[in-house]
Amino acid sequence: MTGKNNDSPQQVSPPSPVQRLAALKWRIQFLGTGVKAVSTALEVVKRIKNELEKEHSICDDDTLKYLEEEEKKLRDKLVTLSGELDSEVHQVEAEISKLESKVTELEVELKELKEDQVELELELKELSGEKVELEKRNSNLGMQLKELKDDQVEHVKKNSKLELELKELNGEKVELENRNSYLGLQLSEIKEEKMALELELEKQMKHMKSEESGSKREARRITGRNEALKDQKKTLPKLLKEKEEELLAGNGNEENIHQDVSPLQNLVDRLPNTMKTILAPKGSFTGDEFGAFMGGFVNIAAYTVTLANKTMGITAMSALASLLTLMISTMFNNIVTYILTVQVQVQNDQPRVVKAFTSLPWIMLGGVLPIAIGGFIPRWGIRAIVTGIVTFVLKIAFAVFLVLSYKVPKKYGFYFVILGMAGMAIAAGVPEILEWIVKLSVKKACPSI
């Protein structure tokens, strides 16, 4: 019983085509041997029968009858064995045909694999060239950073001398120190970005051989970030020079210092340090803060007027929940970004906990506006019209304020209004478009539905 359980079919792997072919050949040999044996026996029976017929007087009829029956049995057995032999031969021929087809398929697959290997070798060669280029650019970036540090040391010396000369102007001195702190934060951010780029570049080099296609796109993205970092480094000496000119020009008239500062910058300079870290971590309202505000504004406005919520009455609570989800995800994204990019804590930097709340006030402000505008209107048509009109007016107001504060060309303000409204319209209509596409696909696939 134990031997039978150990040899159960569940534990025996199926035979391979070669094993099946060998078994069939052995079966053919066995059947051929049987056919020869039966043929020999049949010949012997015939010979005995003929001899007995010649000597009919010696043997009786029962013996002849017995020989005839044995001859018939041998003939039947010979026919059966011949049929089995033919069947086995056909099966062997079928197996051989399958094996030949399999060999042909494997040869084609081997050829394709060789072609893929050649393509991969070419891609690896291209990636090696890109790696050398990235190393050269990284070296140039280090040299530029060293020059930037030397310029900063020189600037600190000049700044100390100017502060001694202008110590009687306490108000101007505070403002100049704030501006100097802003430049220091900007320099620290450049260092942080460089360190992050180095870490990311090292990671990409480790995975380049195993992920050729993906590393190519990552290398292009890193190259773009290196170029952006170079541009920032080129603009920093210009900012330092402008600060020196402002220090030299401030001989007692406070209006000479404030005349080129935008209303937004005046507002930032008057904020406490804790609020400034949350509302303007770079020392001024930049595109990051404005983008966070418009992202929350467009997101919640699109949710309020989307066709997917056409049957919903008051959307204020659900829109508020969506805004809360957006704020929480942004907060965790800020924490993860800070952990992955910041390696050295800057001396004048705020605690890490404050980093989590960066841009959250702007997202909250941008999301609350559309909720207050259309979140409490029950009818979708009126809600969409009112929200769209008020949003368009607010977009124009934001564009005017942007042009006046940052002194950008008016055409960019026009682009801002058009692109913002188009983005909100697309975001609001995407669920309905997707639903329409799904229904159309289902209808084509199953016309009876």
What are the pLDDT digits (tens) for 26-64? 767 777 777 777 777 777 777 776 666 666 545 566 766
Categorize the per-residue pLDDT at 295 as very low, low, confident or very high, splitting at 50, 70 and 90. confident
| Conformation bin of residue 407: beta by default, left when phi > 0, alpha when psi is -120 to 50 | left
Residue 269 in any domain: the answer is no
Q: What average pLDDT is seen over the chain?
A: 72
Amino acid letter for position 140: N
Residue 151 in any domain: the answer is no
Measured CA to CA in angstroms, residue 91 lies from 86, 102, 172 at distances of 9, 16, 101
* Contact call for residues 315 and 303 (beta carbons, < 8 A): yes
Of 76-85, 101-110, 368-377, least confident by mean pLDDT is: 76-85
Categorize the per-residue pLDDT at 82 as very low, low, confident or very high, splitting at 50, 70 and 90. confident
Residue 195 in any domain: the answer is no
Residue 131 in any domain: the answer is no
Which of 93, 120, 147 finishes a domain? 120
- DSSP code of residue 351: P
Containing structural domain, residue 432: 276-449
Categorize the per-residue pLDDT at 253 as very low, low, confident or very high, splitting at 50, 70 and 90. very low
Categorize the per-residue pLDDT at 237 as very low, low, confident or very high, splitting at 50, 70 and 90. low
Question: Rounded mean pLDDT of 330-337?
Answer: 75
Measured CA to CA in angstroms, residue 203 lies from 38, 196, 215, 218, 352 at distances of 77, 11, 10, 10, 25
Of 88-102, 151-165, 197-211, least confident by mean pLDDT is: 197-211
- How many structural domains comprise the chain? 2
Closest Cα partner for 84 from 135, 31, 11? Answer: 31
Categorize the per-residue pLDDT at 251 as very low, low, confident or very high, splitting at 50, 70 and 90. very low
Residue 327 in any domain: the answer is yes
Question: Rounded mean pLDDT of 209-222?
Answer: 60
Categorize the per-residue pLDDT at 3 as very low, low, confident or very high, splitting at 50, 70 and 90. very low
Closest Cα partner for 340 from 198, 186, 207? Answer: 198
Q: Which two tokens stand for residue 32?
A: 């051929």
Residue 393 in any domain: the answer is yes
Residue 181 in any domain: the answer is no
Which of 120, 152, 172 finishes a domain? 120
Question: Rounded mean pLDDT of 408-432?
Answer: 73
Which of 52, 87, 120 finishes a domain? 120
Closest Cα partner for 182 from 275, 268, 293, 291? Answer: 268
Residue 362 in any domain: the answer is yes
What are the pLDDT digits (tens) for 378-393? 887 788 788 888 888 8
Query: What pLDDT does residue 347 have?
Result: 41
pTM of model > 0.75 = no
